[in-house]
Amino acid sequence: MSFIRPEAQETLRRWRLTLVGLATIAIGAWWSWGVGNLLGVAGWLVMAAGFALVVIGVQRARFDTGRGGPGVVDIDEGEITYYGPLSGGSVAVGEIARLIFDPTSHPPCWVLVERQDTALHIPVNAEGADDLFEVFSALPGLRTNYLLTEMRAGIDQPGAIPTVIWDRESEPVDRLRLN
């Protein structure tokens, strides 16, 4: 028996990294201003690490839409696998050509399009879908803030249309000149 309501547990789970970052900042501030000397220098570094955790935690919390959706997402060694009740599949991260957010499906889905034009639809609230944030943020040229803004706008606005979040063809190409 838990003394914390399930809604409160879900909120704490969603914001846990941000809370850890805030606690880290508090410890670093205590070391910097309370103790001083050599520990004070380390306190500033701890506060910087805490600030980075807060920023990452806020982004992850914005990406997390909850649990209880259909299916399970498994990410293992560059392979995203979705086990769904009606469909499923697998996509190699290096083979993703386009990332689309589709708010018209119920529940809203991430659509991962491979180079062969096959698509994998993953509901945003599938079990383990919150782990897709790291995979998506590692895509070259993807703007994380744009991803989060479009996702939230698509979920909150009725009549939203599918949006291309990232396309491999439009990513900037860095070329080194040899001469």
- pLDDT of res. 36: 66
Task: Provide φ and ψ at 121, rounded to 5°.
Answer: -100, 125
pLDDT at 152: 81
63-90 residue pLDDT tens: 777 677 788 989 888 889 999 887 888 8
Average pLDDT, the chain: 83
Q: Is pLDDT larger for residue 38 or for residue 171?
A: 38
What integer pLDDT is reported at residue 177 of this predicted model?
A: 42
pLDDT in tens, 97-144: 889 998 888 888 989 998 887 888 999 888 888 888 888 888 888 888
pTM of the model: 0.72
Chain-centroid distance, C-alpha 45:
25
Give the closest residue to 43 by CA, choosing from 52, 55, 35, 54. Answer: 35
Peptide bond between residue 107 and the one before it cis (omega within 30 degrees of 0): yes
The two tokens of residue 48 are 């910087």
List the one residue out of 130, 147, 135, 123 whose CA is nearest residue 95.
135
